[in-house]
Amino acid sequence: MTSLRVAFQGERGAYSEAAAVAFFGDSVQPIPYNDFDSVFEAVNTGQVDRGVLPVENSLAGSIHRNYDLLLRYELFIVGEVQIRIAHQLIALPGVSLNDIKKIYSHPQALAQCEQSITRLFPYVERVVTYDTAGSVKMIKEQNIRDGAGLASQRAAAIYGMDILQPDMQDDAENYTRFVVVAREPEIPAGEAKTSIVFSMDNMPGSLFKSLAVFALRDIDLTKIESRPLQGKRWQYFFYIDFIASQYEERGRNALNHLREITSYLKVLGSYPRGV
């Protein structure tokens, strides 16, 4: 049986790759891409079967680029998975903490470890890279012996590097939510979540009326966020996640009701609720 080809952004060892393995299992074939746009394009054109993309971090909030791409592409969310983000300080074998003059990583990882970095390395230089695992790969390829990267335990294992200091993150409750996208929708089994995006005319009470369609049916909203509507000043798209499937009666009725009072509505997908 051929394993699923799943696109993710970053280098081998990235948290997105870990999310793909957590969702699909060890038999999955993760395919790295340089940026989020390329992941969407790979799924859209059939180069891969699925894509795994981060959409929300418990500390830093939403990854807006991916919400914009979900709106642009005709792909569907078919799953979600949450993983704990644990940043390890990783260096070449034989390098010690006293050797470290520079720390490399993605800006979010550097920010999430700021207190630990300051405590352990008061005078270290912080160097921004495009990817956590990519910083470890670069240190190995360039034989950087006065630097360390912040990345996952998986990245250290993949590149044969040492963990100098585990769990550098300042907050242990650091989780990222990833969604799985596909070219075709799937009907979820069990408790489901649905993601939608809509816009409406700027009239008094319009947002209240939109949200009321869910309250009237006792449907729980787990996320609501606005994004600027390009080309229309001070108008917005609203992204909502709610606990129900578009294929069950109350979810279907809520969406039909919402269509009556919005100027635009797109269902991004119904999928099993992740934990």
Active-site annotation, residues: 176, 178
Q: What is the DSSP string of 107-137?
A: HHHHHHTHHHHHHH-TTPEEEE-S-HHHHHH
Reading the block at residue 224, the tokens are 């609501």
> Cα separations (Å) of 115 from 73, 86, 100, 122?
39, 15, 16, 10
Reading the block at residue 197, the tokens are 């995006």
Q: How many degrees, rounded to 5, is the angle at CA 112 between CA 108 and CA 117?
A: 115
Fill in the amino acid letter for 161.
M
Nearest to 109 by CA among 35, 171, 169: 169
Q: What is the H or E stretch that residue 156 is in?
A: helix 153-158
> How many angstroms separate the first and last alpha carbons of the chain?
28
